[in-house]
């Protein structure tokens, strides 16, 4: 994100994918965010919401990938 919401001073993320075996991959997502001084008092809520929303989206992605896995097996 080059320009984000005004309430964020900084935002960073990294993704790591680790092969567990021939049929599965472990995905690790790490994010860091820092609120601007004017929003610092709400930073805990921003972190909680971002964590909750990310987890919700990743669970949806996992369900989708598992439901379509049989379509892509040779």
Distance CA 15, CA 31 (A): 9
Output the average pLDDT for the chain.
87
Query: What secondary structure letter does DSSP report for 34?
Result: E
Of 52, 7, 61, 5, nearest in space to 31 by CA? 52
Q: What angle do CA 35, 40, 46 make, to 5 degrees?
A: 60
From first to last of the 74 residues of the chain, give the pLDDT tens digit.
Answer: 567 788 999 989 998 999 988 878 888 889 999 999 999 999 999 999 999 999 999 899 889 988 887 666 55
The pLDDT score that the predictor gives to residue 1 is 59
Its pTM stands at 0.70
Domain residues of the chain, as ranges?
8-72
The pLDDT score that the predictor gives to residue 72 is 63
The pLDDT score that the predictor gives to residue 26 is 87
């Amino acid at each position: 994100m080059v320009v984000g919401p005004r309430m964020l001073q900084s935002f960073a993320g990294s993704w790591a994918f680790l092969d567990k075996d021939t049929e599965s991959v472990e995905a690790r997502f790490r994010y860091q965010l820092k609120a601007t001084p004017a929003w610092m008092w709400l930073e805990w809520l921003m972190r909680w919401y971002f964590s909750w929303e990310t987890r919700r989206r990743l669970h949806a992605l996992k369900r989708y990938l598992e439901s379509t896995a049989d379509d892509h097996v040779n």
